[in-house]
Structure 1
Amino acid sequence: MPDPTLPTFSRRALMIGVGAASIAAFAARGLQSAPSAYATSEGTVLPLVDPLASEPDRSQFDDSEHVFAAYLTVVAPIANSIRDEDPYYGWMEDGWWRAPQQPYNAREMEQVATLTWFLTHERTWNPYFADTKLRDRIEAALGYYLSSQLADGSWSEYEWDVPHLAPTGFGSVALTTTYRYLREAGELTDWLPEIESAVRASSAWLVDRSLGHWRQPTPYTNQVVAGLAGASMTADLFEDADLAAQVAECWATLREHGISDAGHSHEPMAYDFDYSFIVAMPDLAEGALAGFSEPIEMARSMAEFVSYASVLEPDRAGFLHWSAASARIATFTQEMQPNEVLDRTSLGRALIDHVPVLAAFHPTDTEILAARQAWKSDPGPIVPLQRRSTSPRTWMHSSRAPLGPSEAEREDAIATLPYLASDRFTELRQAGSIDLDYLFVRRPEYYITTLLGRRAGHHGPYQRLRMGPGLLWHPTMGGLVYVLNSNDEDAWGPFPEVSSVTRVEVARTYYSEPYGEGERLSAAQVGNLENEFSAAYLDRTNGSHVVLSFFDDHVVQDITADDPGRAVIPLLLQPGDVLTFSDGTEVTYGDSVELTDITGLRLERGTGTLNIDLDRTSTITLDVTDRVRMHDSRRQHLIRVEHGGSLRTTYAFAGPAETASQAPAAGVLSSDNGHHGTDDGNYDITMDLWWGVNAHGMRLFENGELLAYRNLVARSPQPQSISFPVRGRHNGTYHYTAELINAAGTTTARDVTVEVRHAQPGAVVLSHDNYSGDADFTLTTNMWWGTNAERYRLYENGDLIDEQLVESNTPQAQSAATEVTGRQPGVYRYVSEFLNANGISRSAEVSVSVR
């Protein structure tokens, strides 16, 4: 049992300490009225865990463990967020992991697993191994965590004393992991029976199929999957055959009732990319590694649906996800380059042998190894994790994940993606769990996704879903029209009021011919169509009727409304795109414009053209949004078209306006490095082709490695120009080359070399104002000119005593100050640092005498 001299709590003791009346009052007032912050003593009860005394040495981390480096930087802040005063002694109060930041939210306490890893694992780079201050704070956290467990074995998340699935499922994983580490290291052994009792109780709650989280169809599949992973770990840890048998039965039940008829997991009843691919898939891998077949079957079904709902951009910048169909998270893109510190999907790679299509969505083994080597050789400081980005699941999974597929395996998987494997199909999938149709139409010139149906009420968990077409993709141009699920203005079609998009629920009908003509078709019949047809949907909330007609080389959207209104076209533009409106006005990426008497526009990109034609003269606005991804190469722009009650818009595809008969002329690369005052590693590389045969695309290489691909619009012999932002380069030499490409050939541009000399912050000077030997004084750090810092640190006698964020405005001066109080007589030595992602600048040592 735990040491009785230490503060420990039962649920009853917790309520007495808090005050039962206070808990009841908080519950009665609800979440918004609950207290949001409390003052914690500054180490007067439990000593504060020491911050890192120096920057970790990247070279000391094993390849599979460098994910811990970022967590290492926040061990002390997380540990010191554990309260050592009443009320809520032991609660992690600073919101490092999950909202709401309230003492009844057990999700925050999952960080005991993170802190325990550092306490129990001896590494040359880990100063917290067997650290007594960290041990004391973990013990306090365990006391609060275990005492907050409800009598039925569950934990709360959103209000006092109400069982919730997520904190119980994910918490079981965190606590079984904590138990295993403590037992292996012989740490806090008196707490092991308490943890065992807790996870046995939570596992029993999780596998009890009479409870609400097992209702059929089973909602929140990702949370149940995590719960089964935790229960399975418990059964394995304590060799509990009865629990293992119950887990096996639960997997069979979840396989039957946790997957929709459409193939996606229930989140809670609709699709969600983030919760299925990013959250659930790694835990399905846990289930598969534990020897269960049902997780593999579930992963296969979910991955197949994702392969329809995500499109690979032709330039291989990454995947666009059908955000409009995601019920919970505003997932936009998934980039191809590995980032193991932030990659929550990594353990999903363990499923690739069983579900080969998953290889399309993961980096290759070569890319992962190269990224690890680049991380080790990076001279910059390790960037600390930010609040809400400290998921314990990331390090749990990444440190155990296998390498990625080979390049050949990934290419084979990409070739099986439906819209790449075929240029003609119609796929209609019905969710079944709620009244939703997912319509996927592939024709030779395009791929389009459409969501139609009901969202089970205006005030339920599905307000993010956006009805109607959501994603238009072209084989060479990539994503062209794109609806997100996180903004009231996101729609593609009728949009009479700003808020109406969040209320749209439509009645739909399918027809065998375009324009709502021909015979009505059943859902089963739609899935067999290969030629022209149409889908009509009526929105009774705003009185609009839309008919989508699908042809081989164009799509037509007919809108009829009760009143005049406007239609929205959410274009997804890339740098190098050119939009030409019917009046001759040209605009490019990032522009906004308002025009009248417009009958259409032309979007040119690389070797393709999208013509958008209106059947009437309209006033239109084009507005740029801040919704951007893939290194600022994909940005949503909104076109709003005013109409008098009806509007026909045709989206037709054509080849480039210009077909090249000669290879491009030679372009010239240049850099603006140093133009803003310093050679700081942040600059633009620009390609200019002054005159001659134009290119349709450009590949940019940095030190021989492909850095980016950009589409260009050819209008020979006019000049061409495009810039690529390069950010965060360290001191060193960078050589840039480029290839200009058109249908007739490839030409190498004139190269450019960039010398980065000032990547780390400029020289800093530390001073003090204690000329009379007082106990209170101020230390000030100044950088008079140069590359700015992002953080400031101050050390006293070698110990870090202050750290602040500072505002960057290169190359202007920067300053930071620390007030020091209550120093005893003696001599104190101070050193300050200014840091950015590229390095550290240290001051000379300053001594201060206190008399």
Structure 2
Amino acid sequence: MSDSEQAKQRGGRVSRRAVIYGALGLGGLAVASQFVPDLRIRWREPLGELAAFPAPDRASFLDTEQVLAPYLMTAVPLANDIIGDPQAEYYGFMAGGWWRPPNAQTETNARIMEHISTLAWFAANKRDWNPLYRSEILLARIEAAVAYYTSLQLQDGTYPEYEGKPSLAATTFGIVAQADAYEALQQIGALPDAMLQLRRSIERAVRWFMDVQAKHWTPPVRVFNQVTAGLIGAQRALQILPDPPADQNAVYERISYLCAHGQAPAGFLHEPYGVDFGYNFTVTMPDLAWLYAHTGHPEIVPLVRRYMGFMPFAVLPEPGTGGLWHVPALHARNVTTSVSRPAGDLADRGALAKVFLDDVPSIALFLPTREDKAASREEFASAAGPVSELAKPHTSPRTWMYGLLAPQGPARAVREALEKQLPVLTSERFTKLESGSQKDQYLFVRRPSYYAASVFGDWTENDKSTRQLGTVWSPRLGTILVGTNDPDHPEGWETLGPDRAFSTRQSSSTSKYFDSRTSAGDHAINLDEVQDKTGLFAQRTEAVTDPGDYITGWAYWDQGLQFTFITDRAGECIQRIPVLLKEGDTLTFSDGSTFSPGDGDHEIETSTIVLERKGSRVLFDLGATKFRAFVKASGCSMAGGEIHRVGIVFEGELNVNIVFLRGSEPGSLQAEAHRHSNDDVSIRITISTSRARPVSRLKIRGTGVDTEIDVTGTGFRVFERTLTPSRPGTVSLVTTAHLEDGSVFGETEAAIT
């Protein structure tokens, strides 16, 4: 029995086209394969206009269906914007710019048509508040839209998105939208012709998607979210079609394949290849939850656990903001700043991920609490004004699809407990080095004074993710350095070569690691050994294009970091340091002058910069030489402050010592010491002196150690040495600072870690 005949028996609406097909004696499949592309041209009918209606009483919506209210108020203008003039070239196209970005509003962008699922839901579901149920005018407009939508399908079964070219996203998300529309029409036995077109479209698209030789299955799978959507489409086809193009075993096998080849060794999901919280959590995680709920596939939960084993390392609490913040440098596609966990149904795009709460409790970290959700829904129900339509183009049909299905979220107490268990709060010593799938490395270093999160390795043009140091956070000061992944505000730790020939922030490099304080020796360690380092180690990165472009060195001490940059290129380079300044912060330069938030652009020659925040200080030491420097507000807000670009102009080589200072008074002396695997001991000494009391000599003593360092100049100075004790048993080093007259300026003892 054909779809049209089945629809007739169910009392469905039969269009003039179905009568003509029957007279011609054409079977359903023949119609779909031979005539569908011409339907919107040959058999056009003028489309009537839907009348506007007053917004229903907010209290009439069930809590779990409140998400539909703004879609209901959008349905009339959305449907009326479907081109209904029979003489129009794009009859059936969903005009009006309701879905997808303004720059993507073309008649060949199939993604725009995904709202057939939204309109079909209102046409097929009876509610006291839904005046569109079985609306003949709405059904006629859906019919025209389906005909136009399916006519866009390309020969191989794909759909176009940009420039009429085949698109994985347009195809896979389209399958899901079409499946929902098909099921809704089937529910009320309406539009048999449209159902036929949708069925044939879904079959062709799923067949293309499930072809294991197709490019999107090439390992490693490049874009996880789009492939996941395709798997949902294939599963939906199994649920709704009489003769689905793929069986359950095939879908199971492809889920296994995706889990094996779509997740980086680090744990994040490829977007594309790199990290992206926006796609990983608000797009992919709900899709994985749907797949898990409908297939019970045993590899999905372990994949989610691995993901949640990685992401908390890229999240930081910020004192005074009451929230959590991402490390923006990691994220490849969406501009990323704060961790957003909105309770409102329209904004809660990751809602269905709550399915994983029982199996992966830590996922609650990124979800709104049940208390916040209840308060939001109560606020919606009791609000005085009418429900408004959605704002263009923020009308994703996925929001209502998953919002209707989402279970209850975590209790507030549970999420607060997880926030207190963030890695940066539960340990003051660890090193986590993780790898992506495309020679990208993610380095997280926690030491007593700070936490540094960085990305190294290959960089892909057009990715928003950046390279080198991303964020430096302190348990006392909060965030002090932070880069963005915003092309409109390109701030970050970055060295620009002469004539801007290269940028370390946007270029590829290789990394090596060393059990020493510098990367110049022969004490290289492998990647597994880096994970075991809880004390001092060093790193060297070299430009991939030409090692002469740049070499950078990093040393990870307990009290701060040391950075070295070297280039063979002649000319001025600029080192950019993204300092986050908050209200009340002060930058002090070596001449004693200062800069505070709100001051105008500042230029100075200096050898040191000291950031002071609420009585705590961090030093940026440039060595004995003064460099031309400038400070400029970026206009980019982050973590409760504003990023200020501090630029250092230099040639050839630059060394920057970052030291978290003990105490807030000048005239200080501090030191730290670390033992290496060959029993050498490295020490770093930071001293601040004045002209009134200039230090001339540092004496370092310990078991098997007795050495001196000559000191010239005043102000802040940082000294590093690697010592070879003459006999074993050294457990600490005592540093004594002597004035020019031989008297003692100060003394400090550093336990060797």
Aligned to 1:594: 602
- 1:552 aligns to 2:558 (yes or no): yes
Q: What pairs with 1:40-79 in structure 2 (closer than 5 Å)? A: 45-51=46-52, 53-79=53-79
SS of 1:334's equivalent in the other structure is coil
CA distance in 1, matches of 2:236, 2:205: 12
- 1:623 aligns to 2:632 (yes or no): yes
Aligned to 1:479: 479
Q: What pairs with 1:502-581 in structure 2 (closer than 5 Å)? A: 503-518=506-521, 519-539=523-543, 540=545, 543-561=549-567, 562=569, 563-581=571-589
Aligned to 1:335: 340
1:10 and 1:147 in contact (8 A); partners too: no
SS of 2:301's equivalent in the other structure is helix
> Unaligned 5+ residue runs, structure 1?
20-42, 659-851
Shift of 1:415: 4.0
SS of 1:486's equivalent in the other structure is coil
Shift of 1:560: 2.3
Aligned to 1:346: 351
Shift of 1:165: 1.4
Q: What pairs with 1:780-799 in structure 2 (closer than 5 Å)? A: none
SS of 1:74's equivalent in the other structure is helix
CA distance in 1, matches of 2:449, 2:302: 33
CA distance in 1, matches of 2:175, 2:506: 37
Distance change (3 Å), C-alpha of 1:103 and 1:588: same
1:573 and 1:636 in contact (8 A); partners too: yes
Aligned to 1:464: 464
Letter of the aligned partner of 1:157 in structure 2? E
1:168 aligned residue (143, 167, 171): 171
1:302 aligned residue (277, 294, 307): 307
CA distance in 2, matches of 1:610, 1:646: 22
Letter of the aligned partner of 1:158 in structure 2? Y
Shift of 1:586: 4.4
1:17 and 1:87 in contact (8 A); partners too: no
Letter of the aligned partner of 1:493 in structure 2? E
Distance change (3 Å), C-alpha of 1:422 and 1:389: same
Larger Rg: 2
CA distance in 2, matches of 1:388, 1:213: 28
Letter of the aligned partner of 1:317 in structure 2? G
> Once the two structures are superposed, what CA deviation does each residue of 1:600-621 show, in whole Å capped at 9, x if it has no partner?
3333334643333332323333
Aligned to 1:283: 287
CA distance in 2, matches of 1:247, 1:185: 29
- 1:361 aligns to 2:373 (yes or no): no
Shift of 1:405: 0.8
Distance change (3 Å), C-alpha of 1:613 and 1:69: farther
Shift of 1:249: 0.8
CA distance in 1, matches of 2:486, 2:558: 31
1:438 and 1:449 in contact (8 A); partners too: yes
CA distance in 1, matches of 2:435, 2:231: 27
* Identical aligned residues as a percent: 31
CA distance in 2, matches of 1:310, 1:514: 28
> Once the two structures are superposed, what CA deviation does each residue of 1:280-311 show, in whole Å capped at 9, x if it has no partner?
11111111111222222222222222122222
Aligned to 1:218: 221
2:450 and 2:475 in contact (8 A); partners too: yes
Shift of 1:568: 0.9
TM-score between both structures, scaled by the size of structure 1: 0.68
1:464 and 1:485 in contact (8 A); partners too: yes
Aligned to 2:94: 92
- 1:235 aligns to 2:244 (yes or no): no
2:40 and 2:144 in contact (8 A); partners too: no
Aligned to 2:496: 495
Letter of the aligned partner of 1:545 in structure 2? I
> Once the two structures are superposed, what CA deviation does each residue of 1:693-742 show, in whole Å capped at 9, x if it has no partner?
xxxxxxxxxxxxxxxxxxxxxxxxxxxxxxxxxxxxxxxxxxxxxxxxxx
Letter of the aligned partner of 2:46 in structure 1? V
Shift of 1:337: 4.6
CA distance in 2, matches of 1:17, 1:131: 22
2:156 aligned residue (152, 162, 175): 152
Shift of 1:403: 2.0
1:471 and 1:482 in contact (8 A); partners too: yes
CA distance in 1, matches of 2:597, 2:189: 60
1:236 and 1:244 in contact (8 A); partners too: no
1:644 aligned residue (641, 651, 676): 651
1:46 and 1:137 in contact (8 A); partners too: yes
CA distance in 1, matches of 2:190, 2:634: 52
Shift of 1:80: 2.5
SS of 1:231's equivalent in the other structure is helix
Letter of the aligned partner of 2:176 in structure 1? V
2:606 and 2:629 in contact (8 A); partners too: yes
Aligned residues: 626
SS of 2:166's equivalent in the other structure is coil
Aligned to 1:450: 454
Distance change (3 Å), C-alpha of 1:276 and 1:55: same
1:172 and 1:227 in contact (8 A); partners too: yes
Distance change (3 Å), C-alpha of 1:16 and 1:347: closer
TM-score between both structures, scaled by the size of structure 2: 0.77
Aligned to 2:704: none
CA distance in 2, matches of 1:610, 1:64: 50
1:285 and 1:296 in contact (8 A); partners too: no
Q: Which has the higher helix share?
A: 2
2:48 and 2:137 in contact (8 A); partners too: yes
Distance change (3 Å), C-alpha of 1:186 and 1:580: farther
SS of 1:335's equivalent in the other structure is coil
Aligned to 2:737: none
CA distance in 2, matches of 1:568, 1:261: 31
SS of 2:391's equivalent in the other structure is coil
Distance change (3 Å), C-alpha of 1:559 and 1:234: same
Shift of 1:56: 4.9
Letter of the aligned partner of 1:638 in structure 2? R
Distance change (3 Å), C-alpha of 1:587 and 1:379: farther
Shift of 1:576: 4.3
User: Which protein has greater RCO, CA pairs closer than 8 Å, 6+ apart?
Assistant: 2
2:270 aligned residue (263, 266, 269): 266
> Once the two structures are superposed, what CA deviation does each residue of 1:34-76 show, in whole Å capped at 9, x if it has no partner?
xxxxxxxxx993223334x445543333222222233234323
